[in-house]
Amino acid sequence: MNKSKGSVESDISKAITQWEKDYLGRGSVSVKTDILRNMVIVSLQGVLTPAEYSVCETKEGMLTVKKTRSELVESGLESLKEIIFANSGEQVKSFHTDISSRTGERVMVFKLYNDLEKKFL
C-alpha cells in the first residue's frame, strides 16, 4: 500500500461523510477514522437532528430513534463495506455500531479479515 495510515483514515472519513449525505440525506458534523489492528473505527459527531434529541427525552423515544437509525445504517451496509474495501484493500468480516442518544455520537466498527495496521509499518 502506497498511502500512509493517516491518508487512508482521512479518505475513509470523507467517503463515509459523502455516503451519509447521499444515502441518509444529511451528514454528521465531524467524522474521525482510526485504524487499529484488524479494525477500522469510525466516530461520527452530530448525527442526531434536534427533533430526534427531543424524542430521546423518553426511554421509549430513545429506543425508537436508536432502532430506526440502526436500521437505516444497516440497510446501507453493503455500500459501507465497499467504502472500506476501496480505501483499504481489505474485506469487512463484521460490522458493529451504536449511537448515543445523549451526545448524538455514532461509533462504527468494521472488523477486517486481516491486520490492516501491519500494512503501514
The residue type at 31: V
pLDDT level of residue 1 (50, 70, 90 thresholds): low
**Domain presence at residue 121:** no
Residues 46, 104 contacting (CB under 8 angstroms): yes
Task: For residue 65, give its domain range.
Answer: 5-112
pLDDT tens string 44-96: 999 999 999 999 999 999 999 999 999 999 999 999 999 999 999 999 999 99
**Domain presence at residue 47:** yes
- Domain count of the fold of the chain: 1
**Domain presence at residue 119:** no
* Res. 101: pLDDT tops 70: yes
Task: Return the axis-axis angle of helices 77-88 and 5-19, rounded to nearest 10°.
Answer: 160
**Structure confidence at residue 2 (pLDDT):** 83
Average pLDDT, the chain: 95
> Cα dihedral angle (114, 118, 2, 6), rounded to 10 degrees?
100
Residues 4, 88 contacting (CB under 8 angstroms): no
**Domain presence at residue 22:** yes
**Structure confidence at residue 22 (pLDDT):** 95
**Structure confidence at residue 14 (pLDDT):** 97
Residues 88, 113 contacting (CB under 8 angstroms): no
**Domain presence at residue 118:** no
**Domain presence at residue 52:** yes
Query: 88 vs 26, which has greater pLDDT?
Result: 88
**Domain presence at residue 56:** yes
Strands 106-112 and 39-45: antiparallel
**Domain presence at residue 117:** no
